Structure 1
Amino acid sequence: MADEDDEPVLRVRSVPDLLALVPVTLGFEPTESLVVIAAAGRYPGFTARVDLPPRGKVANVTGQMAEQMAAAVVSQGCTRVAVVVFSRRREPAETVATVTADLVERAGVELYDVLRTDGRRYWSMTCRGESCCPPEGTPYDPWSTPLRAQAAVAGRAVAPDRAALA
């Protein structure tokens, strides 16, 4: 039996790597989800996921979701965070991501990036230039990143969705 220390280190070197890391750490492909990936210095902290609020409930729930995520980051002593929303809907995804990022930043935690992805394209909400952040999003293939390949070789299975884990 392999020792936990034998697990390969999965290094994030790009936004596509970061987006590929999320399903690897969760064990399934997230949809309609807010995800926070936190680190303490150069070391992994935690990955947390919560369902996005349904239509009509965004205003009631967004602040509470963001506060809970920010509180978890601070209580775990994390120093750097990426906020990622997996959704085909621009709203509430961008509102949820922005509110969460603002609370995390106000707590003194560095933001790596704030992203929205539909699974095929991503949008950085911290980027201000069209040359690096086109309005139509940046295409990527979550299955073809070096990180995802390394995880597969290490035997890290990823279910197609959360229900498949039940």
Structure 2
Amino acid sequence: MTLHPNRRHSLALLASLAATACLPALAAGARTPMEVWKDPNCGCCKDWVVLMEKAGFAVTVHDTGNNAVRAKLGLPQRLGSCHTALVGGYLLEGHVPAADVRRLLKEKPKALGLAVPGMPVGSPGMDGPEYGGRKDPYDVLLVTRNLMGSEVSTQVFTSHRS
């Protein structure tokens, strides 16, 4: 069957519009889901969430604090920070940079996740104007469980030295 040139043009235009209309849905579907538990009043946590959203994560926030979820996930208090997240089956604790999260999701190590203990100045979310450009060195730790699952150990995943 041969289509009239105008009909062919109309079908091509319709197909183009349909594809364009689907782009936002495809883009939204490409965002990696992330769930975050934080204190409702913590400004640095909010800043970190904004950075994760800008990096392409679809973030759901629970303003209920993070101590209970951190304990439930088996992360020791010594590795704690002000917020805890889950992404791709991994735990994230504290101000982990988006590039390190992407690397974790790409490499898929056998691990509990990543942690930046404390709140190092200069890490994502702890880098606002109130810190005057200060950047303290810090490590992102890969957190693993022993074979029995009762103890965790860490090794440096990435060192951030500016």
TM-score, normalisation: structure 1: 0.23
Question: Which structure is higher in strand share?
Answer: 2
TM-score, length of structure 2 as denominator length:
0.23
